[in-house]
Amino acid sequence: MRARNALLAAGLVFVVACGSRSQKSGPPENKSPAVDALEDPKHPGLEACRGSIASGDLESNLEIARATKESYHEMVVCGGLNASISITLIQIMISAAAGKDTNPSGFTFDGKGLWRAGTQMDVEFRLGFDTKFGRAGDLITYNLFKLDTYFTGATIKATASVNTKGEATTSLTMAFTGLGPGIELLGLGPEPKSPVVIDGAQIAASLGKITLFSKVHIDDKKANSHIKYELETNPMTLGQITAGEPTVMKLLNVSGERPDVGQKMTVTNFGIDYRDIGSGYLDGKIEVDITGGLFFPYSVTYSYPRRNAPDVALSCEVGKKPAFDAGVADSGGDSGADTGVSDSAADAAEGG
């Protein structure tokens, strides 16, 4: 029982050290219900251009806008995968000590440094500091989720204690017969001697310096619509991700169409962050024009005020400059400091 409690305490210290789901920083998720003009039968905002169009034709004209909204939800899924793989890596030693699987759920490794989540997401890890096997910024080609990347013939034991201030402290004792190529990533230097005693916070801090790069590839066919886009996330350390700092989504490529009626979706503004503070959410705004088709053109604004479900506004105004044109994403929808949705607006939506 004492050993089990020590492992549980070790796990707690690890999680808190790298930014636990209860300790993460950042504004809380907005729990207010979404205001969605696509789901409102009156579809407010289209009064000036809808004319006397039949109800069925109107809904058909809006199908591509609904498909776009559903497709953008994949950003929540992929942001969550970034957070999950980061937490799994930072906690690898305590997971090994507890006899748990240390592999990241949902990912496969190509043996060369690339981690894939199906066909929709690729992740790479890069060095956060110089080591014997590479310089800061170099791709890490080892499988970071295998214990023998750090130690061979390892036996790990977790020990919990309470200091004179009544605070719980935890250490891991590792006995080993050899060293793996990634030993320096634990912050122990290139040639530690067996056994070693490591504080959980030390491991978390050292592994937290590793930088994560990810790309998202979405190819969605929903009803009669086809939405495709590619994103990359700004490079972030594992420590930043697990602490709940915002992950900025950068648009690389996008297209959307409904070929049966000749409709086209064009992104005119893109500024989105993902944040995980225990539950993940999006923060920002995306604007699109819907043109062509059998009926009238219109624009759609998907606003994410710290929420996964967007507020959706419709308008008859179209013709803004595309946010992605000829391989260059425009800066009109910068994410990060200005996501297009202020915290005060989100707070008002939440009732203060």
The pLDDT of residue 160 is above 90: no
Task: State residue 39's pLDDT score.
Answer: 96
Name the most confidently modeled range: 58-67, 245-254, 324-333: 58-67
What's the pLDDT at 322?
81
The predicted pLDDT at position 219 comes to: 95
The whole-number pLDDT of residue 332 equals: 35
What pLDDT does residue 16 have?
Answer: 36
- 246 pLDDT above the threshold of 90: yes
- As a whole number, the mean pLDDT across the chain is 84
The pLDDT score that the predictor gives to residue 274 is: 94
Give me the mean pLDDT over the 163-173 stretch. Answer: 75
Residue 349 pLDDT level (bands cut at 50, 70, 90): very low
Structure tokens at 74: 């994949």
pLDDT at 337: 34
How high is the pLDDT of residue 96?
A: 83
Residue-wise pLDDT for 266-300, tens only, equals: 999 999 999 988 788 999 999 999 999 999 999 99
C-alpha distance from residue 346 to each of 40, 182, 276 (Å): 21, 44, 17
pLDDT in tens, 301-323: 999 999 999 999 999 999 888 87
DSSP-derived pairing of the beta strands 108-109 and 324-325: unpaired
* pLDDT score recorded for residue 158: 73
Question: Residue 163: how many CB atoms within 10 A of its CB?
Answer: 8
Per-range mean pLDDT, top range of 7-21, 172-186, 208-222: 208-222
Q: Model confidence over 188-229: pLDDT tens digits?
A: 888 999 998 877 788 889 999 999 999 999 999 999 999 999
Q: What mean pLDDT is predicted for residues 26-39?
A: 92
**Quick check: 48 pLDDT over 70?**
yes
Label residue 112 exposed, middle or buried (CB < 10 Å: 0-12, 13-18, 19+): exposed
SS3 151: strand
- What is the 3-class SS of the chain, one letter each residue? CHHHHHHHHHHHHHHHHHCCCCCCCCCCCCCCCCCECCCCCCCCCCHHHHCCCCHHHHHHHCHHHHHHHHHHCHHHHHHHHHHHHHHHHHCHHHHHHCCCCCCCCCCEECCCCEEEECCCEEEEEECCCCECCECCCCECCCCCCCHHHCEECCEEEEEEEECCCCCEEEEEEEECCEECCCHHHHCCCCCCCCCEEEEHHHHHHHHCCCEEEEEEEEEEEECCEEEEEEEEECCEEHHHHHCCCCEEEEEEEEEEEECCCCEEEEEEEEEEEEEECCCEEEEEEEEEEEEECCCCCEEEEEEEEEECCCEEEEECCCCCCCCEECCEECHHHCCCCCCCCCHHHHHHHCCC
How many other CB atoms are found less than 10 A from the CB of residue 40? 12
3-class SS of residue 334:
coil
Q: What is the mean pLDDT of residues 90-118?
A: 90
Q: What is the pTM of this model?
A: 0.81
Q: Tell me: pLDDT of 104 over 90.
A: yes
Q: Are 158 and 97 in contact (CB under 8 A)?
A: yes
For the record, the structure tokens of 249 come out as: 């989504």
Q: Is pLDDT at 342 greater than 60 in this prediction?
A: no
Could you tell me the CA-to-CA distances from 343 to 175, 181, 352 in Å, in that order?
A: 50, 45, 10
What residues pair up with 126 in beta bridges, in sequence order? 139, 211
Whether residue 170 has pLDDT greater than 70: no
Nearest to residue 256, comparing CAs of 300, 208, 308, 198? Answer: 300
C-alpha angle 298-301-52 in degrees, rounded to nearest 5: 30
Provide the token pair at 61. 């004209």
